[in-house]
Amino acid sequence: MIIDLRTILRAPRHFEFTLEPDWWQCRQKNDQILGFSTPLTVRIDISKAGNKYVLKGSLSGRLVIRCGRCLEPYDSDLESDFSLFLTCTESDTGKNELELLEEDMSVDFIKDDEIDLDEVIRAQIYFSMPMKCFCSEECQGLCPMCGTNLNKEKCECQQESGHPGFSKLKNLITL
Ligand SMILES: [Zn+2]
Ligand SMILES: [Zn+2]
């Protein structure tokens, strides 16, 4: 959703909508977020404070995430509140704009007095993700030798775990 920032004044404007599961597009090859399993509810208030825009909002829904150990998809609740301050670029030379970009990453979201809420939401979903995502604490992951999903079946490689090299590797993977 594109918001024209010239319509935003000091009093907050409220936006509320749902994004359907097909809204999510994986952009990276190994994106850990595969999509939503329910529509995502988005609530955002946008107001202006000086030369900044204040975004306060919340996201609520269920994500489909790829497990960091076994690579299988699983569902995870997403409940995220956020506040963002976006700076408005009023520079007229390319040089100033570049300096601003380095100073304030969030300027990425604003282009020609417009803000793309989709990009804000997308970034916020990534920020809300834990560093490591596992389908369960007990997930056994994949065999480092043959790639078998050890939650589903056993492979032959495990029987050689007497080798110190393997047990070290095994400990690393089950950490
Ligand atoms: Zn897993
Ligand atoms: Zn194996």
Residue pLDDT, tens place only, 85-135? 887 655 554 544 444 444 444 456 677 788 889 988 998 998 888 888 999
Q: Measured in angstroms, how far is the CA atom of residue 142 from the centroid of ligand 2?
A: 8
CB 54 within 8 A of CB 120: no
Rounded CA-CA distance 141/50 in Å is 51
Ion ligand 2: residue ranges with CB closer than 5 A: 143, 145-146, 148, 155, 157
Provide the percentage of residues in the chain whose pLDDT is more than 90: 44
Q: Measured in angstroms, how far is the CA atom of residue 148 from the centroid of ligand 2?
A: 6
3-state SS record for 38-101: CCEEEEEEEEEECCEEEEEEEEEEEEEEECCCCCCEEEEEEEEEEEEEEECCCCCCHHHHHHHH
What pTM does this model have?
Answer: 0.74
Which range among 51-55, 151-155, 162-166 shows the weakest confidence by mean pLDDT?
A: 162-166
Q: Name the closest ligand to CA 70.
A: 1
Q: Measured in angstroms, how far is the CA atom of residue 153 from the centroid of ligand 2?
A: 10
Q: What confidence tens digit (pLDDT) does each residue in 25-43 have?
A: 877 777 889 999 999 999 9
Asked if pLDDT for residue 84 goes beyond 80, the answer is yes
